Structure 1
Amino acid sequence: MHNEHGIDLHTHSNASDGTESPADVVRAAAASGLHTIALTDHDTVSGWDAASRAALECDITLLPGIEVSSKFGGASVHVLAYLPDPSHPALNESMARVRYDRIHRAERIVAAIGADYELTWADVQAVSEPGATIGRPHIADALISLGIVGDRGEAFAGILHHRSKYYVPHESPSPADVVSQIVAAGGVPVLAHGGSRGAALLTEAPFAALVEAGLAGVEVGHRENDAAAQQTLLGYAERYDLIVTGSSDYHGDGKPNRLGEHTTAPDQLARIIEQAAGTAPVNLR
């Protein structure tokens, strides 16, 4: 599917847990042959302005977005918000709570790891962009910089694994609440990589509740969705007339995901833009 449609609607910059600046993500997308991308950093809009300027410079269309954290049945579930109003109070308050919890959670994880390894909070700050939403990927980068692990994959397979003794759960709103907040902010909510975690959400009643709350679409093309999850998601999309997207979930060097490895069809992008009422795409062609 590489660059089949030139539309990649899920990318991350160093405003959250990517390794490149928002502008560099946009430049990389343009260089890879994409003509439309969404910047969807975790629980923050802080990369929007720089990405928007770069989109105009590179003559690429940008959908400002967010990947909003939620929790269902003890599992982390993410909802992509496309074109929401960045000043909407309820959505902002919810994201601020998640960011606050994530930072303090990260501090507790670092303290636990620090009892067994030479790791301090200062080490984590040293590898994080000022103002970035600090999470486990930044702890992984600190572990790499100290030579404790070789890469993020090794960190998440061991020290940072969710079954590790160092793991600290985090608090997040429910997926249905997040979907409602995105809709209230004029955004278009799309369930991110539904097959990767929170599989219980893909059963009949919980999924119907998401649709009732205003879910607009599902991300089907994603390397973390296996064939069975894709079929389940496509079945729901057909039943509820949902938007279907595909995207890379690009993190720069933070993950192996490559820009354009999955893409979204133009008619599905058009549906997102048509439904959005919060903010406008940048440099829409």
Structure 2
Amino acid sequence: MLPKADLHIHTTFSDGKLDPVEAVEIAVEKKLSALSITDHDTYEGYFAAKERADELGIQLIPGVEITSSYKNRESHILAYFFNTDTQFFADFFISQRIERRNRIKGIIQRLNGIGLIVDYDEVRAEANGANIGRPHLAKVLVNKGYARNHHDAFDRYLSTEKLGEINQNYPEVSRVIETIRSIGGAAVLAHPAKFYSEKEIEEFIKLGIDGIECIHPSHNFTLQKKYTAICEKNALLITGGSDYHGGKEMAKRHLGVVSVALKHVDKMNRMCEQRKQIVELKN
């Protein structure tokens, strides 16, 4: 069996159910060669799991899923192999955390306006110290009987279509891409089928995106081939992962079920090592 990697999972540091160490242990059980914990707007999970990953002999890749703004829409950019010692990046995520809180408060205000009684402190308690997000709010809505389950909460209240425009100040996607590259990392467009047309993907390429998440649970085989062809045509990195959050998810979204060949990870690593050397020379 060819060595594989899952480059997109979430843990308790954002909206996942597993703590980082548990995620690493499951990845080893699944016989993965590499794993990247890509929590929303934080890479603390990497530090929490690194020692255990080293003990078990699995490659743990620094990763994060960054919330950004593209055409006044929320956009997600995956970052990999960046320099984890960079204070600039750490400071960047402090402002991201504040913005996530403000956005949730705006959504709660919208929900209160249609008669749903929800308080920010309830959502913060559900997050339990993790980076707060809509999944935590969804859990509160389910607990209060406003929705049957997580998916129902999003369908009824929390999808972009239902919410409309909520004031948000996430950084422009161009700035996010530039920031990732400036600290030696790779910037990858997450699950494009969910959000972007082919023309918009071309715009991301012009902005300097390094790769596309071709393999994702939301992509059927035809879409995988389509995005892989775009990557090959434009000399972009090919990545993939399960987008695993834990809990009672569909089987196709379990950790390790959706993965990418390790050769793509090695290619990304080589590119980032060269980029780090260039960054050092400039500094």
Which TM-score bucket, shorter chain as reference? 0.7 to 0.9
Which blocks of at least 5 consecutive residues in structure 1 are unaligned?
280-285
Which stretch of the first structure deviates more once superposed, 24-33 or 44-53?
A: 24-33
2:121 aligned with 1:125, yes or no? no
Shift of 1:224: 1.9
Q: 1:42 to 1:165 in 2, by over 3 A?
A: closer
Which stretch of the first structure deviates more once superposed, 165-174 or 95-104?
A: 165-174
Amino acid at match of 2:227: L
Aligned twin of 2:258: 262
2:214 aligned with 1:220, yes or no? yes
Q: Distance in 2 between matches of 1:230 and 1:71?
A: 25
Report 1:80-119 matches (<5 A): 80-115=78-113, 116-119=115-118
TM-score, normalising length: structure 2: 0.86
Aligned twin of 1:236: 230
Checking the alignment, whether the CA contact within 8 Å between 2:36 and 2:60 is kept in structure 1 is yes
Q: Distance in 1 between matches of 2:182 and 2:13?
A: 24
Aligned twin of 2:49: 51
Aligned twin of 1:276: 272
Q: 1:43 to 1:201 in 2, by over 3 A?
A: farther
Q: 2:168 aligns with which of 167, 170, 183?
A: 170
Which stretch of the first structure deviates more once superposed, 94-103 or 215-224?
A: 94-103
- What secondary structure is seen at the aligned counterpart in 1 of 2:157? coil
CA RMSD of aligned residues (A): 2.4
Q: Distance in 2 between matches of 1:179 and 1:134?
A: 23
Superposed CA deviations along residues 84-128 of structure 1, whole A, max 9, x for unmatched, are 123435433443322211101101212332341232122112211
2:75 aligned with 1:77, yes or no? yes
- What secondary structure is seen at the aligned counterpart in 1 of 2:179? helix
Superposed CA deviations along residues 179-226 of structure 1, whole A, max 9, x for unmatched, are 11111111112211112113366453x13313xx3x322110112235
Aligned twin of 2:279: none
Q: Distance in 1 between matches of 2:199 and 2:60?
A: 30
Q: Distance in 1 between matches of 2:167 and 2:221?
A: 29
Aligned twin of 2:59: 61
Bigger fraction of residues in helix: 2
Checking the alignment, whether the CA contact within 8 Å between 1:12 and 1:18 is kept in structure 2 is yes
Which blocks of at least 5 consecutive residues in structure 2 are unaligned?
277-283
Which stretch of the first structure deviates more once superposed, 98-107 or 157-166?
A: 157-166
Q: Distance in 2 between matches of 1:228 and 1:274?
A: 29
- What secondary structure is seen at the aligned counterpart in 1 of 2:160? coil
Q: 1:178 to 1:229 in 2, by over 3 A?
A: farther
Checking the alignment, whether the CA contact within 8 Å between 2:86 and 2:183 is kept in structure 1 is yes
Superposed CA deviations along residues 62-98 of structure 1, whole A, max 9, x for unmatched, are 1121111222123322111112123435433443322
Q: 1:125 to 1:203 in 2, by over 3 A?
A: closer
Q: Distance in 2 between matches of 1:101 and 1:80?
A: 18
Q: Which has the higher contact order (CA 8 A, sep 6+)?
A: 1
Aligned twin of 1:209: 206
Checking the alignment, whether the CA contact within 8 Å between 1:68 and 1:80 is kept in structure 2 is yes
Shift of 1:55: 1.1
Shift of 1:30: 1.9
Checking the alignment, whether the CA contact within 8 Å between 1:75 and 1:198 is kept in structure 2 is no
Q: Distance in 2 between matches of 1:140 and 1:254?
A: 15
